[in-house]
Structure 1
């Protein structure tokens, strides 16, 4: 980590944030073709609630399978908000036992999930979509720095980054409207990396990640804030200080 004065997000926080950002995921069920899920929500009891096509639910809804569960792996892909040469920022694999949510409990479960986060996919529950429960046993995240496991207890105790919903607009704003700030940030990079194209890759409460697209390879670098930030005003201030431009205005993304 270059230029960092704070630690980055924990492995558990990275997984939680990736789960919130990923639009769709691949559900691999033992002995079946992968299924695309339109919702993946981790509840406090360690169950990942998944929205799947109704025929997938029906295919696993037998008394024996409902009791014992089916071995399954959910693969989530965290894509960069910007159009980068390599768009994948990280991959997350969640392994556990899969059970269908009984038809009589679909509406109550959908309401419980909506109370925690109002996913649009919940509107299709009971029509073209059903819900399943993946009881987690293990989790692994992999990115350009390598792969790391996280235990379920740590995952449940962690929170997604508070800026995950606004990250896309911030990065687009930096990339299109603030080449001056990116140029300032690039001065903190080693000389060997300053020849490539510097793009904003991610931003969170601990710092900003940059993607340096070189002629032959890409490199990802994290620049850490001096302190962890918890609100938008502090985030903008920390980014300006990191760039060495404490009086630079207009960093808040429009819209």
Structure 2
């Protein structure tokens, strides 16, 4: 399974929505706290781009020598329609400073020095040390996951439903089968319907024989998985 540090890096470097909650900034609209761009630096620091008139930039600029604490909250929402659509959240807290001259005109680069990292996702809850976060790499499928899940759901729906045969009949009848999450280690599917798991259904994880490195390896792994379900 992916480590907590890898899962957090994946969320940070994904297209999930995020807001930067800054100490002392009140009354700001949520969209004013959403960075236009977020990247991770070589030492694990986060670089966030905001409009120059953002409350975040004003707070970091006017703080002078005082430390300004902030928390980047990331919300991961499944890219396909499914009950209980939020897949997880991550929180990266630390201190922010402005980095003038490093963004395009009308924008400001804000540096978040990481102090604490926590995660609550489909795998469970975890805390991540800043050093672990800095050393981790995002999942290689992160840039394509949303598109791949939507493709599986719309084009390969019957093959995904056939995965029921690999789960067994003990769970009870299934009404909906939806691909929920995808990473280099495997595919997570949500089965919705009445059964032992209740009205909300249950999730099942289908591991690949070996971790995939790219979409080409994923294609081979998915063909093998569908072939096993068809037997």
TM score, norm. by length of structure 1: 0.77
Mind listing any 5+ residue stretches in structure 2 that lack a counterpart?
Answer: none
| Conserved? CA contact 2:189–2:203, under 8 Å | yes
Which residue is 2:160 aligned to? 182
Q: CA deviation at 1:9?
A: 1.1
Structure 2 residue corresponding to 1:240, chosen from 214, 220, 223 = 223
Which residue is 1:12 aligned to? 5
| Conserved? CA contact 1:24–1:38, under 8 Å | no
- Aligned partners of 2:148 and 2:123: how far apart in 1? 24
1:26-76: CA deviations, max 9, x gaps? Answer: 1111121362222221111221111223222133213xx344421111101
| Conserved? CA contact 1:24–1:39, under 8 Å | no
| Conserved? CA contact 2:6–2:139, under 8 Å | yes
* Matched residue count: 218
Provide the alpha-carbon RMSD of the alignment. 2.2
Which residue is 2:15 aligned to? 22
Residues 1:173 and 2:166 aligned together: no
Indicate the SS of the match to 1:195: coil
Q: CA deviation at 1:78?
A: 1.3
Pair 1:246–1:193, CA change in 2 (3 A): closer
Pair 1:218–1:126, CA change in 2 (3 A): farther
Moved more, 198-207 or 28-37: 28-37
Q: CA deviation at 1:142?
A: 0.6
Moved more, 208-217 or 8-17: 208-217
- Aligned partners of 1:232 and 1:52: how far apart in 2? 32
Higher normalized contact order (CA 8 Å, seq sep 6+, divided by chain length): 1
- Aligned partners of 1:178 and 1:246: how far apart in 2? 13
Pair 1:20–1:170, CA change in 2 (3 A): same
Write 1 or 2 for the structure with the bigger share of helix.
1
1:222-245: CA deviations, max 9, x gaps? Answer: 211111111322211112222335
Equivalences for residues 29-68 of structure 1 within 5 A? 29-33=22-26, 35-55=33-53, 56=55, 57-62=57-62, 65-68=63-66
Q: CA deviation at 1:83?
A: 2.1
- Aligned partners of 1:180 and 1:245: how far apart in 2? 14
Q: CA deviation at 1:23?
A: 4.3
Mind listing any 5+ residue stretches in structure 1 that lack a counterpart?
Answer: 1-7, 111-124, 248-255
Structure 2 residue corresponding to 1:207, chosen from 183, 186, 203 = 186
Pair 1:23–1:145, CA change in 2 (3 A): closer
Structure 1 segments, 4+ long, off by >4 Å, are none
- Aligned partners of 1:144 and 1:230: how far apart in 2? 22
